[in-house]
Amino acid sequence: MPYHSAIILPMTVKELILKKIERQGSVRSSDILKETNITRQTLAQHFRELIKQGAILKFGATKNAYYTKPGKNIKREPEFKKTKRLKGLDEDLLFNEVEQSLSLKTRLSDQAYKILRYAFTEMVNNAIEHSQAKSASVWVHLDHDLIGFCVKDRGIGVFENIRQKFKLNDQREAIDLLLKGKQTTSPKGHSGEGIFFTSRISDDFALHSHGLSFEVENHKQHDMFVSELPQREKVKGTSVVFSIKQKTRKNLKELFDQFTVTDATFDKTHIELRLIKKEGAFVSRSEAKRLLYGLDSFRWITIDFKNMTGIGQAFADEVFRVFQNHYPDIRLEAVNMSDTVRFMIERAKNTTLQ
């Protein structure tokens, strides 16, 4: 019988954790979340308390972590763990070093190998080019049926770097910019596509910097979360975590094709408004202008109104009349609209130019 949050007390959650460890040897966060409706943050607190009590041990990092009781005979999976100076570092040569150390070609499917190489080199290159740090720690590990990596530096921080370069108000606006794709603080040497595509091809992806967390889950469906980190988990610099199944059937080219209209160019994007604004509706013309910033480089823009109950007339007018009239060759698509949102959009489209 599944457990429900309405009847689970804090100790009952801990008992469930210990019971599952006793039964199967180890447990992951996902095992507990499937049987409860508690949040990840609440579950993480339960795990921390059990670790502090000495009742369990933690292996791995973030969502790939698993927990077991002290004394359990847990087989340690192969891993690569080093700290590298970033000056003069070549991300491709570093990946070759990882590949040889872990025999990746014999362990991974061809698709998993290609995806890992792309994601790893993109994230290491970000640390080299943008972090302003002297060094970065790299950890690659095989864990049950997953392959994952973590790249961590103590530099300026990915969100703060974007905030400064684009003169944004805060780091949350930097995340909004990242979600669009094609945004880079170094346009001469970078396309701004790395984090966008790496997060979408992963099974799990997390980007932690200072007090903010951007997480992506691509299991049965694509889902993203933006949240504030607890004080004890705040990261100085940037920590990026990626994982994918060792025998995945995902295809990197198919992902690229989803965001390509013509000529193998990244010219299509998908904006989820619920990630940009957690409460209230998009109302003003200034909010619309912030949303549209940088989107004129795309040929197809999909704006997702999932969970948005309404929008303001000024917002709708700026996006669906003013912007569309200014860029008539851009395909502007609205999806998952409520009746209220649909009405406001249609009204804006049908407004006669003054």
Shared domain check, 95 and 137? yes
- Cβ atoms of residues 123 and 208 within 8 Å: no
The per-residue pLDDT for 265 is 66
Shared domain check, 248 and 266? no
Shared domain check, 162 and 270? no
**Residue that wins the pLDDT comparison between 190 and 159:** 159
The per-residue pLDDT for 183 is 56
Domain housing 50 = 10-68
Question: Is residue 332 in some structural domain?
Answer: yes
Question: Is residue 354 in some structural domain?
Answer: no
Domain boundary among 225, 254, 283: 254
**Residue that wins the pLDDT comparison between 193 and 155:** 155
Pick from 102-111, 211-220, 295-304: least confident:
211-220
Burial class (CB in 10 A: 0-12, 13-18, 19+), 28: middle
Q: Phi first, then psi: what are they for 252, rounded to 5°?
A: -65, -40
| pTM assigned to the model | 0.68
The per-residue pLDDT for 106 is 94
DSSP β-bridge partners for residue 147: 142, 244
The per-residue pLDDT for 221 is 74
Shared domain check, 225 and 85? yes
Over the chain, what is the mean pLDDT?
83
Shared domain check, 113 and 227? yes
Q: Where are the alpha helices (DSSP H) in 103-150?
A: 104-107, 110-130
Overall average pLDDT of the 70-83 stretch: 74
Range with top average pLDDT, 24-28, 80-84, 250-254: 80-84
Residues 107-159 have pLDDT tens digits of 999 999 999 999 999 999 999 999 999 999 999 988 778 899 999 999 999 99
Shared domain check, 270 and 137? no
Shared domain check, 163 and 64? no
